[in-house]
Amino acid sequence: MLTVFGSIIVDTIFSVPTLPRPGETVLADALFVGPGGKGANQAVAAAKIGAEVAMVGSVGSDAMAQISIQAFEGAGVGVSGVQAVAGPTGSAAVMVDAGGANAICVAPAANRQTVAMQMTDAVWDRTTTLLMQMEVPFGEIEAAIAEARRRGVRSILNLAPAAPLGLEALKALDILIVNEVELAMLASQLRLNGDSHEAIARAAASVLGITLVVTLGETGALCVSGDKVLTAPALAIDPVDTTGAGDAFCGVFAAALDVDLCLEDALARGCIAGSLACLKTGAQECLPTADALRKYL
């Protein structure tokens, strides 16, 4: 089973002609409110292609919590590890321009109370892959990574939003997923130089002793695992909204590995899912089904 330890957020998405500059007010052409959060998105992405998924995270005591819970239940994501805490559910304001580019502001709220101890023995006993992101307390992420290593559970961290994590925790991972911005931050943390994404990824993977995946937007993705470098292309599309693309990649990539597909197959599936996610608005509404994914395999 794939367990996702991460954030649960409700998105308010504004479709705007252009992203506002500092001090500028822009009128939106459309408004959408729906479930989001990197953890929730990745859990739903995996479930929508048929994976067995459990979510571990936190919602608030407000009405918005039901938006997320109902989305999990509709996608078939297990919610026994989701706790309700006093206060608001996490919220994000997302602006998407006519070209599909976005700007996002997140209020973590209930997510700040998510702890690794929510991963009970019953959850750990069923978990074969643990997928995490950086929208819950960093110390709890590090604790979850350490426990996954102790229990022999495959651990995958999406280093997003970009933030430094302790080297001990990074080295205890099996797989680290970054985009170009996160790769640059990681290179700075590790004091690495390189003249290409591949060169930096090779150096970082070697220092950490783990598999490193770099998502490259419309170019696709590359993966460094030991001496092996794999690449996969993105689909040629006209993006509508890129908001859920990275989460679609991570969820589908992790789900593929959880059913013992090889890295090359997982990378290809992740890139297809990330591309298809750009064709619709909404962080979870855009996530592709197994049937949609199969059309491009």
- Spatial strand order of the sheet with 90-96 comes to 30-36, 9-15, 90-96, 102-107
Q: Are 127 and 5 in contact (CB under 8 A)?
A: no
Q: Give long-range contacts, CB 8 A cutoff, 24+ apart: 233-238.
A: 233/271, 234/271, 234/274, 234/275, 235/271, 235/272, 235/275, 235/276, 235/296, 237/275, 237/276, 237/278, 237/279
**Alpha carbons 38 and 7: distance in angstroms, whole number:** 6
- For the question of residue 260 being annotated catalytic, the response is no
Among residues 121, 247, 258, 291, the one annotated as catalytic is 247
Q: Are 192 and 200 in contact (CB under 8 A)?
A: yes
* Amino acid identity for residue 24 in this structure: E
Q: Are 265 and 254 in contact (CB under 8 A)?
A: no
Which has the closest alpha carbon to 101: 217, 247, 262, 273?
Answer: 217
Catalytic residues: 247
